[in-house]
Amino acid sequence: MSKTVLITGANRGLGLKLAQSFSDSGYNLILHCRKDGVFLRLRFPAADVIMGDLRSPLLLKKLAVSNVDVLINNAGVRIADNIDNIAPEQIREMLDVNLTAPMILAKLLWPTLVSRKGMIVNIGSLAGQSGGPGESVYAATKAGLAAFSETLQYDATMAGVRVVNISLGAMRTDMTADRRDRVKFIDPAEVAKFIVLVCNQKHKSIRTSSYELKRGLY
């Protein structure tokens, strides 16, 4: 029986590459996007596409369907600005999308993931370890996501659920469109294929909880 993956933020960047890679690997797709739902339905006709803002409790409940084997918390917001310039609503948006939504989705889907011996993949960032200028809030959300992933291991291991945090370096996505050296950044298609491999791994006596993917060119 084919497994089902739920990917948030699947309409562009890494999310779109993840959707393609999991589709190529035979997974059923549940794809979340805030917009561009028509595009996703045309690209993946067999997928269940759900549109909406991850800050909405109703949307989070709608995403928590009963047949999910793999939850990939990919959607993210990065607003780069100094703390004296960034608006309070921008701080709340990054916290809600990058950290609160993944935790609530994990909570809502937990019974399903336990029953199906499923998996949670949280897409983090190396900024959570050492953020750059203008990244104080964004880095804090990714540091929190990494802490949540690691601490959740205590519940997950006993329940037979895998939880993995993927900390990424700079990728060639819309978030880095203004960077002069982005040609040297990580290819999101390569990251997506790596994540599919991680999800398909089978181990008897070992548990992997985190990976750091750094760019190979400087």
Whether residue 218 is contained in a domain is answered as no
In tens, the pLDDT along 141-156 reads: 999 999 999 999 999 9
Whether residue 169 is contained in a domain is answered as yes
Closest CA to 190 of 6, 21, 1: 21
Q: What is the pLDDT of residue 207?
A: 92
Whether residue 159 is contained in a domain is answered as yes
Whether residue 154 is contained in a domain is answered as yes
Domain that holds residue 115: 4-213
Whether residue 81 is contained in a domain is answered as yes
Whether residue 70 is contained in a domain is answered as yes
Q: What is the pLDDT of residue 178?
A: 73
pLDDT of residue 176 exceeding 80, the answer is no
In tens, the pLDDT along 17-74 reads: 999 999 999 999 999 999 989 999 999 999 999 999 999 999 999 999 889 999 999 9
- Mean pLDDT value across residues 188-215: 95
Measured between its terminal Cα atoms, the distance across the chain in Å is: 43
**Domain holding 91: CATH number?**
3.40.50.720
Whether residue 47 is contained in a domain is answered as yes
pLDDT of residue 15 exceeding 90, the answer is yes
* DSSP state at residue 209: -
pLDDT of residue 118 exceeding 80, the answer is yes
- Mean pLDDT value across residues 132-144: 92
In tens, the pLDDT along 58-95 reads: 999 999 988 999 999 999 999 989 999 999 999 999 99
Whether residue 111 is contained in a domain is answered as yes
The number of folded domains in the chain is: 1
Q: What is the pLDDT of residue 174?
A: 76
- The 3-class secondary structure across 37-72, one letter per residue, is HHHHHHHCCCCEEEECCCCCHHHHHHHCCCCCCEEE
